[in-house]
Each structure stands twice: as structure tokens, then as C-alpha cells.
Amino acid sequence: MDRIQQEPSMRVLQWFFVVIDVSFILYFSATALKMIPLEYAYSDYTNPILIAWNWSFFPLDMAISVTGLSSIYLNRKGRSEWKSFALISLVLTFCSGLMAISYWTIRLEFDPSWWALNLALMLYPLFFIPRFIKSSQVASQY
């Protein structure tokens, strides 16, 4: 009954996890290989301080990918731990988006594509987190 595939909104969550988690892995791979064209990069992309700032997200974003993809795997194996991994992934994803939006706000820079991506990272978890908290509260009553 806990499985992602059995609840429509959880199927949507699984889709988000796959798209976002794989995208993080691809993004950092492309960044490491210097494959991102400058016209698609964020402001001051070649500035060493900005390069360090960008790479400071690497551990967080990889933790998001590992927990999100692990939750899908655990769910498919029928293990209830998938919910904990999913909640961790959602909270970390919110934090990643919030950190980026905060940075661009402090710098007073607005690039619609970067803002849209990071606002999406920040906002989509807010749809699912309350469901996990509510589900956890109901489960703890039994």
C-alpha cells in the first residue's frame, strides 16, 4: 500500500525524482567536463569564486540524487524506508533551491532561466513534504 506506483501523486513524485536526480548528475558531469556553453551558463560563470560557489552545491545535490533514486529503488523493493529517503531528498532539494535563489537575490541578479529552475527546486517539494509529515503522524498513532 505504501508503494509509489499505487498512489497517483506518488507517481508524480517518482517522475520528479528521476528528472531532477539524473539532471543533477548530468549537470555536474557536464560542468566537470566544461561542456556547458557560456551563453547558457550563469552570470560570471568563469569567475573562480563563482566556480567554487557552484561546486559547493555538489555534495548537497549528490545527496539529493542518492536519496531520491534510493527511495525509488526501495519503493520498488517494497521496503517502507523509501518514505524516509524521499522526505530527506525533498527537504534537501528545497534547501538547494533556496540557497541558489538567496544567492541571486543578494547579488540582485535576475536570469529567468536560472531563477525558474531554482524556484522549481524550491517549490515542488512543498507540495509533497506535508503529505509525508501527515502520513508519518497517522502511522505513529498505530
What residue type is assigned to position 12 of the chain?
A: V
Q: Average pLDDT per run of 10 along the chain, which is 142 residues long?
A: 55 94 96 86 83 95 98 92 94 97 93 92 95 70 50
Domain ranges in the chain? 4-140
pTM of the model: 0.87
| pLDDT for the residue numbered 40 | 77
Backbone angles phi, psi at 110, to 5 degrees: -130, 110
Backbone angles phi, psi at 73, to 5 degrees: -60, -50
| pLDDT for the residue numbered 63 | 98
Burial of 62 (0-12, 13-18, 19+ CB in 10 A): middle
**Chain centroid to CA 5: how far?**
20
| pLDDT for the residue numbered 5 | 47
* Residue pointed to by grid coordinates 498513532: 141
C-alpha cell at 51: 566556480
Distance between CA atoms of residues 72 and 105, nearest Å: 34
